Structure 1
């Protein structure tokens, strides 16, 4: 190589190097996900801006970020007014819901550009693809598990589920997606709040039918073939000297009901027209699976099954009511009686009507055990053992708790009586 060629070779190298360093800097490019490329010009510090909202971020050392506007476009600045999200969006908001105690989504941003939505972190890094719509799920704040940090996204009118990193957990092929929740109240508190079932579950609706997805273990539990899936109750099941606190979900196919027991994922195929709550002695919801029983209706008849799905009180009654403590009212033909949890008859079977005097919420424990019954067209009062406390001689009878007695009617005459006069 001669001296002239050597000079031109060196000059070509330096010109190429200079051209490389003067090219616009690309900060992110998500072409496949619909994001536009941001150039160095987009990210220049903007002075003439209107600050829309500022938020300090504890998870980022107390630094703050600011949603700002310039010439009708929205972007995000950091504490030094450097642009971390370019001013090219129609909408930007903090993606964290209304619960001020929830810090799981701190600094996460929801942006809208050209009619599409995406989620970015506090540094401006895109976390999701761009979708027709992205929804915050406030229930995602109820658990510390990373599995529950999820969001709904919509594509072509269908909804799916994505995690906090934008990974698709459930494809966008459903009409509805929701967490499974139940109502919970602390002892002595009448206020009920919604809590997530644990492990966390999702119901997904497709073609009008619901399926069940275990979000914690990332596996489907039930195919989308049920008319409804809803929380029935929480119970404590004793097995091999261990107690499992678990949930029962009632599942419906057509007009028939069954259930799924979550701790062992056992499923009772829907076959009953009615399925009540499970309980054991004195109404407790703790016991062995064989002792926890529920009222069911099959082919028009009523009886009881246990948590193993076995019939424990024969399904043969024309009508029945759930147990209160250890007594249930049942009817065969036209006459009512009462049975215990073994199916043994506890009252005579001569009553045309029978019901408890007061609701279980009645403060007076004694009155909660009393029974109004009708025999030969007349009403009277029984105790829990079947002893008559007011004779069967009244055409009408109404309990008046504040007077500890009864307004009654006999042959058109109205009067007040109490148990002492029975």
Structure 2
């Protein structure tokens, strides 16, 4: 700790605009936040690792690096993923499709569509499942059948021992209980897998409460299995703030955890609470109510979603040059003020407040506004993007690169589609099967990896035409 304090006083550590400590930039194009004494570095188009003083631990040699645990990192060459420790020693060879962190240094490995799991450098579950997810100290696994199709869910421990057989349509956790479903019934199991209750259906949208259905009607229970809302509603939607939008006889209102009415059944629809408000619809008009059920604003625009950190997306409908209907998106605050007028073909407000931008789209190109609606990043890029630790990965004209929050390129650039074209060589021959079993021999004449275009010659009739890299087989 004294060493860290001295580094901070001497200016080696930098507190960034992204609310984290980073080593000084030194010769690198970018360095990430320090976690567990290590920061990810970036130079050119490659990543490595540095310590808190900015001294190199692992030279920049990987296309990507992400954290898997305190001492383990996923690394990629742009095609496949492997794992190393902070000394650069190989834990997993670079032959996996992806590596996904779980809790407590567990991480998921994916190979050929099959999922397994590692822990502290040891493979505890071989890649053989369709999916894996954590629940109450155990793992929900989906079976992957021999023919490649996905099957039912079961429950396994971290030694791949089956705790519940693979016979369920769904399994998830609620408090200390396991919720398992099969066909037209859902059971609540205790930690010993004993049935403590059974329902016709459940909605897992809530965290602290579980909407359940019995006798064709919906109610809700809490984590102690206590019934807080009786089985009396036609529908219950996802909510927050301990409030439930509910439907009764075709009309929508809001009740609390004691089934007391907070908003009268006066609406055509209620979209659910978020950020202390809920969007409501009545007579084809939209507004929102607060947690006291009060209608606090009518909108002239349709809301696309609810509010996140004081902002919500709005949409209006117009006609394009051909007379076809098109949607235009903007952003409003809770006072009804348009922060962003509805003039964009797409817009997205991030759920997390730490992500400061608003993603915008015009004619299939993407850029960013700040949260006050002012331009932040020009509308230039091929895909939506958000910033993490002060940089974002973007693509433009077939090339990928990173930018900082001022839109400046960070480091070098790479071909987005180089993987698809890498196996193709001029002179390579292959065959294309068409109708009635006819096979046409082809030969590659030229390859443009940047545009993904391949000129090929049809050898039977000596005709040239264009194909895409991904349509060319690896070999005969």
The TM-score range, normalised by the shorter chain, is 0.3 to 0.5
TM-score for both structures, normalised by structure 1: 0.38
Larger Rg: 1
Greater helix percent: which structure? 1
Instruction: Identify, as 1 or 2, the structure richer in strand.
Output: 2
